[in-house]
């Protein structure tokens, strides 16, 4: 592999990460399938660490809201503390399971394109059904999400530890099934992504610190920059898109990618 190709791979993977991290299509699943079918592969540590770009994308777009929340929490505003507890409850289940099962997930499940394709396909069907299901929307303001709803979303988020399920997809489905509007379900996903992804980034950086050399560090930097730029655009426009079109376009994309992957695995043995 020449130098240009070496820089090309992390750039493409960073773009994929930025495009898919906050869409209910599974960024990890897409990155792993890109490696399996097209040879665009990087270590599992790279996949986790370039998520920092997507984290900063959320912070950039929601900088004013985050600043207001922090200010109101420090001045004792009840809604800010209510929301902070809701975010913690939504993150806790996945954090506990993710720490305990990290090695198994990265060393076993990450190596199974069949699991990823099935997860994409089945998750797409479920997302399509939930998107079209008539539901009573009881919650439209993320700052007023009750704590039991936040915990339910957190339990659904645990499913996303399986590549192909999608963190945002699982949380959106859980939130909508229990009364959240489509827009608020997507927006709540942005906020609970921050502690989850920061925690995953820090933990994986610590666990893999001896494996990161200059070459991998450069690749991570390139992937990070690409995911930040593309992720910022996605975060900026996703809520309006969901408000107009719902989640059906993402469901069909999941079905198409998962189905094509299964076909390639079964028929062509790829």
- By mean pLDDT, which of 74-78, 212-216, 248-252 is the weakest? 212-216
At residue 1, the pLDDT reads 42
pLDDT at residue 168 above 70?
A: yes
2: pLDDT strictly greater than 50: no
pTM of the predicted model, to two decimals?
0.88
pLDDT surpassing 90 at residue 254 = yes
* pLDDT on residue 161: 86
Distance CA 22, CA 190 (A): 7
Expressed as residue numbers, the domain containing 231 is: 3-267
- For the chain, the helix, strand and coil percentages under 3-state DSSP, each to the nearest 5: 80, 0, 20
- Three-class SS string for 160-216? HHCCCCCHHHHHHHHHHHCCECHHHHHHHHHHHHHHHHHHHHHHHHHHCCCCCCHHH
Q: Would the pLDDT of 247 be above 60?
A: yes
Distances (CA, A) of 179 to 116, 139, 149, 182: 29, 6, 9, 9
Q: Please tell me what DSSP assigns to residue 139.
A: B
Dihedrals phi, psi of 180, to nearest 5 degrees: -85, 145
Overall average pLDDT of the 170-190 stretch? 95
Number of structural domains, the chain? 1
> How far apart, in whole angstroms, are the C-alpha atoms of residue 226 and residue 57?
11
pLDDT value at 11 more than 90: yes
Residue 101 pLDDT class (50, 70, 90 cuts): confident
């Amino acid at each position: 592999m020449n130098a240009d190709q070496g820089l090309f791979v992390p750039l493409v993977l960073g773009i994929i990460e930025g495009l898919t991290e906050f869409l209910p299509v599974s960024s990890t699943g897409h990155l792993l399938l890109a490696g399996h079918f097209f040879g665009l592969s990087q270590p599992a540590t790279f996949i986790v660490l370039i998520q920092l770009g997507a984290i900063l994308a959320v912070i950039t777009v929601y900088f004013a809201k985050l600043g207001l929340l922090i200010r109101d929490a420090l001045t004792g505003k009840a809604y800010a503390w209510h929301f902070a507890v809701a975010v913690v409850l939504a993150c806790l289940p996945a954090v506990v399971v993710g720490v305990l099962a990290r090695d198994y997930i990265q060393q076993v499940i990450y190596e199974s394109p069949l699991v990823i394709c099935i997860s994409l396909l089945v998750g797409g069907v479920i997302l399509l059904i939930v998107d079209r299901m008539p539901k009573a929307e009881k919650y439209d303001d993320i700052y007023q999400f009750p704590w039991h709803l936040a915990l339910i979303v957190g339990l659904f988020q645990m499913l996303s530890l399986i590549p192909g399920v999608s963190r945002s997809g699982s949380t959106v489905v859980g939130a909508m099934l229990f009364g959240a509007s489509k827009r608020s379900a997507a927006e709540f996903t942005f906020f609970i992504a921050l502690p989850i992804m920061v925690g995953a980034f820090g933990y994986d950086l610590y666990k893999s610190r001896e494996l990161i050399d200059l070459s991998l560090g450069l690749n991570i930097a390139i992937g990070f920059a690409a995911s930040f730029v593309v992720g910022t655009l996605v975060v900026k426009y996703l809520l309006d898109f969901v408000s107009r079109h719902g989640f059906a376009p993402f469901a069909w994309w999941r079905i198409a990618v998962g189905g094509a992957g299964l076909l390639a695995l079964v028929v062509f043995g790829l």
